[in-house]
Copies of this chain bind each other. A is one copy, B any other.
């Protein structure tokens, strides 16, 4: 096949080497931006027409051809070619096939520098919406699961040691909160990306009389850039998006870790359904929480993409540098990963069978109500630190005799302090502990019910 002429070959005396061509091409991945590139070109053709640079007839021919090209792209019939470097030149080349030299007019008053920035921003706005919707879907599933299991009690953990009894719904709703922050961060990142760089051209702007605000508006941007040099030098929107993506993955990795722990034989808190597990090629009894493990593992991928982008941008002078080309695969990879992991996390939560008995038995285990015992003493007027030490002694004594707090008689309690009275027995069960809570946003059943209701309203409003 004859290599098509490069758009910039006029000045060059030797053709590009094949290995160089392969090293520098980007169409193998930036082809994903093709629909955005066509959209941007159609808006640009409109603007060139309004500015009198394209005649009505020229504009119509270009627009018709671009619409055909979009259809080819959407139908998977567009043939991207590496020797045409990037998505822009592939599309322009196809345009030239359709309408000849007129195609050359479309690149008036623009450059690949501002065009790629526009494509990327259009993509990121769509990606942000998609991910926000997946966050919402996951939050909904969490709220449903929490509501359905509102009575289930489990041990709350600090340091992976059983600490105090809590409602399982309360624990689950902690993830609702993390995701609510993620939702806010995605919205902020999308808002800052919602700026149209077109009009910057290579870096300096243009002398041609184009209405850049109209072009931005036509593409659905809220504003134009404010400085043409910044507009082609800036990849903040990629880094910020990746940072937000990394935090989402941190949250999902923690959820994944808990699902792995909970579905272990040792915890036994949940059972994952067969259809979202895989087995072992050698151990027939195994049912592995692979999906959760992969979510946890894929955290590395997104963190790696963030580190990559930061490393790339560090110390680069203005304005456009070819290093920026590396932004795309990192971003696409992260978007796909986060989207898939949010979807899979939903499957895990929705599918997990809650073993309420196992959880509650664990929550009722030794000493988890010791804080309640301390509070009891505080309410009897004993300073907190003294009460804490006293309960510590009771716990140590129980450990030595193999007893549980519930096993102690009033007499035994009073051997430690005479402030203990009969009512002490009422506060030593997990359920008693949870139900006696009163504090706002605590694990009190009433508070948890309120938070579920509040979440339902919040999700309703997003529609």
Contact = CB atoms under 8 A, between A and B. Distances in A.
Contact of A17 (B103, B347, B437): B347
A239 to B, nearest CB: 6
A207 B439 CA distance: 6
Contacts of A353: none
A439 B266 contact: no
B317 A157 contact: yes
Interface size class of A (residues with CB under 8 A): 35 or more
B206 A383 contact: no
A49 to B, nearest CB: 14
A120 to B, nearest CB: 15
Contacts of A429: none
Top 5 closest pairs, chain A to chain B, by CB: A205-B442, A10-B392, A8-B279, A304-B308, A104-B385
A56 interface: no
A69 to B, nearest CB: 17
A282 B114 CA distance: 11
Interface in A49-85: 53, 85
Contacts of A177: 225-227, 230, 234
A240 interface: yes
A92, A202, A309: most-surrounded residue (chain B CB, <10 A) = A202
Contacts of A287: 11-12, 161
A156 B320 CA distance: 10
A330 interface: yes
A7 B296 CA distance: 25
A273 B158 contact: no
Nearest to A197: B441
A286 to B, nearest CB: 6
